Structures are given as C-alpha cells and as structure tokens.
Structure 1
Amino acid sequence: MNPALAMPDAPPARRRGRLQLLLILMVVIGPMVLASAMYKFQFWVPEGRSFHGTLVGNGLTGADIGVRGAVSGGGWQLLVTAPAGCQADCQQLVYLARQIHIGLGREASRASHSLATTVVPADYAETLRQEYPQLRRLGLDAAAYHKAAAAPEGAQLWIVDPHGNLVLRYDGATRGKQILNDLRHLLKLSNIG
C-alpha cells in the first residue's frame, strides 16, 4: 500500500469527528440557549395557566405587606388580610378560608387559616372566639400594607407557603372551589409542609 494514498483519508475522518462533536454540543447546549432566549425575548411562552388567583412569585413575605407576627407555622396557610378592618367582605373570606381548610380533608393537617387585620368589631371578635377556635389572629400595619405594591385595597385571601412566602392572592369575588383546587395542587406538588 502506498503511504501517499492513505494521507487523504485522514482529513475527512477528522472533519467527521468535528461534525459529530458539534452535533453533540448543539444537542446539549441548544435547548438551554433556546430556553434562555424564550425567557429573555418572551416568545413561544404558553398563555395557559393552572391557577386561578394572582401569582405573587417575587419572594414577598407576610412581613413585607405589614403582617405582624409569625405568618408561617410550619405548614401552608390561608391568610386573610383586611387593612380597613374586618367588615362584611373580610368576614366572608374568613368563613371561606375555614371552609377551604375543612375541604382539604386528610390534608387539612398540612394547612391552617389566619386573619391579619387592623380592627375587629367587638361583636365579630366574639363570633371569632366561639365559631373559629383554630383561627390565628395577627396584627396588620395598615401603612406598610398600603406601601406594598402586591397588596391591593380591600380584604384579600393569600396562600402562604411553609417558609412564609406569599404564593397566590385572591379577592372576595373568587369562588372557594377554585382556591381549594389551587391549594390541593400546591400540596400535591410540595415536599415541604
């Protein structure tokens, strides 16, 4: 065999090896580059969502919206906030939070419900003491609540994770079944609390 004839075969083999290396790198790095571009330039982002409330995915805690006291007791929490005092809309959300907590069934031990407000009318305070024995009562700094961009006016119901982070927010018009479905979904996916 002539050594001069064997020489031309080496460059195509080297090119083929380089092409394989580039293909492997594209398969590994390509999806990461595509995902980063999708996030940065907001294209091909799905419009659908599986939750019904307003997502508060920016790491806010109860203290950031003026809630005084420990928001998280080691589990998930349904927190009702009422910056203008607990009037009819707040009272409806407190009732709804209890019903959702009961509706969790065997998962109820992983969650609790609480109320953070500035003022509770005396007659409703007695109702809370008698009819809502498991309800935790927390204070609310109205000035801090109004400064927080994520905290709108009126009574709100928040889902709080075991670390004390606000996850979802609902107003008084949201149906209880939607909130219950969202909380069940979070409990199913969660390995904490």
Structure 2
Amino acid sequence: MNPTMNATEPRRGRGRLQLLLIIAVVLGPMLLASAMYRYGFWVPQSRSYHGVLVADGQNRAAIGVQAPAAATRWELLVTAPQGCAEDCLRLVYLARQINIGLAREAARAGHALASSAPLAAEAEQRLAREYPQLQRYGLTPTGDAAPQLWIVDPHGNLVLRYDAKADGKAILDDLKYLLKISQIG
C-alpha cells in the first residue's frame, strides 16, 4: 500500500463535494423559480396596479373598437356601448384630467372615446368644445354594457381596465408607472 494514495482520497472527495455545492448554488435558484412558476407556490398575491389587468394579448378590436392602426403613444380609451350618458362623460373628463396630470409626460399619452350610438347634438357640441383633442372611434358592442376606461399601449394592446367608479388618482399612478417602465411610446 502506498501512503500517498490514502492521503489524496479525502481531498478528491472534498473536491467533488465543492463541485456539487457550486452546481447546486447555480442551478438551485433556477429550478426553484421554474417550480414556483409552474406550480404556483410562494407567489405573492399582492399587486401594484389598481385596475383589472388584461394580460391575454387583446387589442382594441377585441372589444369592438373600430380604430385606425396602432398609434405612437399611450391612450386612455373610454368605451360607451350604449351611448355616452353621465358615467361616460365622467370617464371622458377623467381621461382628460389624467392626461393633464401627466405633466411633462402628457405628450406620450392621449385620450379617446369609442361609442356605438351617435351622440345627441348637444353632447357632440359639448365634447367638441371642452375636449378638442379627444379622438373619436366607432364601437361594436361585444360585452359589458357599462362605460369603461382602458389603458391602451402604443401598439394597440389593452393593458388595464377600469369601471365607471374608478379613482382618477389610482389610474394616474398606474399610467405613470407604465410610462416609467415602458420603452415604447
């Protein structure tokens, strides 16, 4: 028996242990993250937005909006499937106030109204007078009959949805956050 062979065996075992630890440190977090994603455990239930997230890749056409090709800026879109009554006018006003509230970022966003029914002459005149930059689109009703406000990205994809009772400050916070992290528009 050679005494030098016995002395190197523990070192070889120690080297293998170190290699396995390095592999575990590198691959462990990736395997854990993959398992968390696949099986949905340890996923936080809190969220940082206030509206309803539309995360299935829908665009404006999916909700019946007949708009031209995607614009180059973000949009606060109000949909009014049954004409523009009081709730709809409140959302149009809110969309404009949110756009103004963006301050120096206001040029990156616009506001629009999509309605299925023609508006009364008085409402048309009021919108033309009070909201000269309001874009107007046609709407084919597809779902909810209540007016809603949508945040639409520059590619025309729906991002967030709010009902008629939404808080303007919360929508402004959501839009500011989207503009901050966005590389488009």
**TM-score in terms of structure 2 length:** 0.92
Matching residue within 138, 144, 163 for 2:155: 163
**Is the contact between residue 79 and residue 113 of structure 1 (CA under 8 Å) also seen in structure 2?**
yes
Report the alpha carbon displacement of residue 62 of structure 1 after superposing the two structures with TM.
0.5
Give distance in 2, aligned partners of 1:39 and 1:121: 51
Give distance in 2, aligned partners of 1:112 and 1:84: 23
Listed one character per residue, the Cα deviations across residues 1-47 of structure 1 (whole Å, up to 9, x for unaligned) are xx811212333333222222221221111111111222222221112
Report the alpha carbon displacement of residue 165 of structure 1 after superposing the two structures with TM.
1.2
Determine the structure 1 residue equivalent to 2:41.
Answer: 43
Gaps of 5+ in 1: 147-151
Report the alpha carbon displacement of residue 180 of structure 1 after superposing the two structures with TM.
0.6
Determine the structure 2 residue equivalent to 1:63.
Answer: 61
Query: 1:71–1:138: structure 2 CA closer, same or farther, 3 Å change rule?
Result: farther
Confirm or deny that 1:172 pairs with 2:164: yes
CA RMSD after TM alignment:
1.6
Give distance in 1, aligned partners of 2:94 and 2:113: 12
Matches within 5 A, 1:1-193: 4-70=2-68, 72-119=70-117, 120-142=119-141, 145-146=142-143, 152-193=144-185
The 3-state SS of whatever aligns with 1:115 is strand
My pick for the range that moved more, 35-44 or 97-106, is 35-44
Query: 1:72–1:113: structure 2 CA closer, same or farther, 3 Å change rule?
Result: farther
The 3-state SS of whatever aligns with 2:88 is helix
How many residue pairs match? The answer is 184
Give distance in 1, aligned partners of 2:149 and 2:48: 18
Give distance in 2, aligned partners of 1:21 and 1:164: 50
Matching residue's letter, 2:137: L
